[in-house]
Amino acid sequence: MSRSLTIELNMTAFFNTGLTQQQFLEQYWQKRPLLIKGAFTDAEAMLSPNDLAGLACESDIESRLIMEQADQWSVRHGPFTDDDFADLPQSHWTLLVQDVDKHLPDIQSVFMPFTFIPNWRRDDVMISYATDGGSVGPHTDSYDVFLMQAQGTRRWQITDDALHAPKLMPNEDLQILADFSSQQEWVLGPGDILYLPPHFGHHGVAVGECMTFSIGFRAPKQHDMLDAIMASMSEKSLGQQHYHDAELSINDNEYEIDSQAINRFKQQLHEAIESADPIIIEAMGKLVTDTKPTLEQNAFDFIDAPVTIDDINTRFEQNQCLHRNPYYRLAWAVDEQEICFFMAGECYRFHANDRDVLMLLVDKSVIQHQDWLQLNAVKDIADIVCELLNEGAWYWQ
């Protein structure tokens, strides 16, 4: 990246905070909360409570109803019916719907101000509707989240520090903090945003009816990363060396796994990870683009009759376009002289010279005829587009 382009990116404003995007990352990202007043101007018009309730009635959409009565919390999982909503009390309940940005792709526009954060870190936009007093209880999240107030008002109580091992109430379905003490309190109206790093305690309560967009950025857990590396090592027949102890010493008891053995285990595990360097990129790319289990059926619904390159040419000549499946994730990375293109947990490798053409698949959610002419000029890329199209990664419209 050129120095002038780097300076330009570093100077990009982060909403109206007086911070640049880079300053936000350096001073707040995964460090401390930030309140942003008046960040969005049209948030209220993006979705109605009735629209959200309609999504919650769909069998293939993940949704929950959380109620509070006399300091007792309960949760019900969707799909719901009109009768379920008609039977609800006047206050103190919240409806939450996951992955609204996939089910309604227009909602993905809320991610536009956050494109400086890697796309593969995006999780979803969860949208909640709450009646007066509605809340999901004081809790922490293990991911970064921007809480955007779309309609109405919500009061947030926030802790000053991250809570890594808090005591929870005895409720398996809800991770509610048993002892919650806040140090800050902020009230958000339409268009306001509250950024929260992972593990900060927070409690949001609706003041009247309100809707909140939770724009989440997840990161894989350590054991998920290890699982992905081990799976790739197994595929490539890496990590086959046995435990070794040429420096073995006599110990006091033949059945004891002594501290020296434990240290050797640790050292040899480190060596195994080091030997996995050639497959780290592939393992991580597959991991972060894998389709959520809860969205697999939605993704498979886009699979159509198999097509060939000739069929694709014909469709484009008929003025049809290819649209990217909103339930599939994609990413890319440079691996020496190759470009790794990841989609839906699979890796496809291309020569680095084809990068500019390949970026058409990355940067465009809609592939038009002129784009296809460039893609089709590189046989390897055209073949992969055809393969992915047959697997539902794109659909005709």
- pLDDT, position 72: 86
Domain boundary among the residues 217, 235, 251 is at 217
Tell me the average pLDDT across 154-162: 96
- pLDDT, position 6: 43
Reply yes or no on whether the pLDDT at 172 is more than 80: no
Reply yes or no on whether the pLDDT at 211 is more than 60: yes
Domain boundary among the residues 217, 249, 265 is at 217
The widest CA-to-CA distance across the chain, in whole angstroms, is 81
Phi, psi of 391 (to 5 degrees): -100, 5
In a shared domain, residues 252 and 226: yes
In a shared domain, residues 241 and 203: no
Tens-place pLDDT, residues 265-289:
999 999 998 888 889 999 999 999 9
Are residues 327 and 291 in contact, defined by beta-carbon separation less than 8 angstroms? yes
- Asked if the peptide bond before residue 79 counts as cis, ω within 30 degrees of 0, the response is yes
Reply yes or no on whether the pLDDT at 315 is more than 60: yes
Question: How much of the chain, in percent, has pLDDT values that exceed 90?
Answer: 88
Least Cα distance to 127 among 198, 53, 187 occurs for 53
Reply yes or no on whether the pLDDT at 139 is more than 50: yes
Tens-place pLDDT, residues 62-106:
999 999 988 789 999 999 999 999 999 999 999 999 999 999 999
Reply yes or no on whether the pLDDT at 160 is more than 80: yes
Tell me the average pLDDT across 18-23: 97
In a shared domain, residues 335 and 236: no
In a shared domain, residues 148 and 272: no
What single letter denotes the amino acid at residue 140? T
Reply yes or no on whether the pLDDT at 208 is more than 80: yes
- pLDDT, position 302: 95
Reply yes or no on whether the pLDDT at 389 is more than 60: yes
In a shared domain, residues 334 and 231: no
In a domain, 10, yes or no: no
What single letter denotes the amino acid at residue 215? I
Range of lowest pLDDT (116-130, 162-176, 365-379) = 162-176
Contacts of 147 (CB under 8 A, 6+ apart): 156, 188, 193, 194, 195, 196, 204, 212, 213, 214, 215
In a shared domain, residues 308 and 325: yes
Domain boundary among the residues 217, 241, 259 is at 217
Phi, psi of 264 (to 5 degrees): -65, -40
- pLDDT, position 385: 95
CA distance 271 to 243: 11
Tens-place pLDDT, residues 230-259:
999 999 888 899 999 999 999 889 999 999
In a shared domain, residues 54 and 69: yes
In a domain, 90, yes or no: yes
Q: 3-state SS of the chain?
A: CCHHHHHHHHCCECCCCCCEHHHHHHHCCCCCCEEECCCCCCHHHCCCHHHHHHHHCCCCCCEEEEEEECCEEEEEECCCCHHHHHCCCCCCEEEEECCHHHHCHHHHHHHHHHCCCCHHHEEEEEEEEECCCCCCCCECCCCEEEEEEEEEEEEEEEEEEECCCCCECCCCCCCCECCCCCCEEEEECCCCEEEECCCEEEEEEEEEEEEEEEEEECCCCHHHHHHHHHHHHHHCCCCCCCCCCCCCCCCCCCCCCCHHHHHHHHHHHHHHHHHCHHHHHHHHHHHHHCCCHHHHHHHHCCCCCCCCHHHHHHHHHCCCCEEECCCCCEEEEEECCEEEEEECCEEEEEEHHHHHHHHHHHHCCEECHHHHHHHCCCHHHHHHHHHHHHCCCEEEC
Name the residue with tokens 């069929």: 311
Reply yes or no on whether the pLDDT at 8 is more than 70: no
For position 314, which CATH number holds?
3.40.366.30
The number of distinct structural domains making up the chain is 3
In a shared domain, residues 40 and 162: yes
- pLDDT, position 71: 79
Tell me the average pLDDT across 190-211: 97
Residues in the chain: 397
Tell me the average pLDDT across 191-202: 97
In a domain, 194, yes or no: yes
Question: How much of the chain, in percent, has pLDDT values that exceed 70?
Answer: 97
Are residues 185 and 255 in contact, defined by beta-carbon separation less than 8 angstroms? no
CA angle 236, 239, 242 (to 5 degrees): 140
CA distance 81 to 104: 20
- pLDDT, position 10: 59
Reply yes or no on whether the pLDDT at 350 is more than 60: yes
CA distance 62 to 78: 7
Reply yes or no on whether the pLDDT at 378 is more than 70: yes
Reply yes or no on whether the pLDDT at 189 is more than 90: yes
Structure confidence at residue 380 as a pLDDT band (50, 70, 90): very high
Query: What is the rounded average pLDDT for all residues in the chain?
Result: 93
In a domain, 13, yes or no: no
In a shared domain, residues 103 and 236: no
In a shared domain, residues 59 and 198: yes
In a domain, 288, yes or no: no
In a shared domain, residues 198 and 71: yes
Which two tokens mark 271? 């060596």
In a shared domain, residues 232 and 316: no
Domain containing 228: what range?
222-281
CA distance 188 to 194: 8
- pLDDT, position 95: 98
Tens-place pLDDT, residues 36-58:
999 998 877 889 999 999 999 99
- pLDDT, position 3: 45
Higher-pLDDT residue of 35, 336: 35
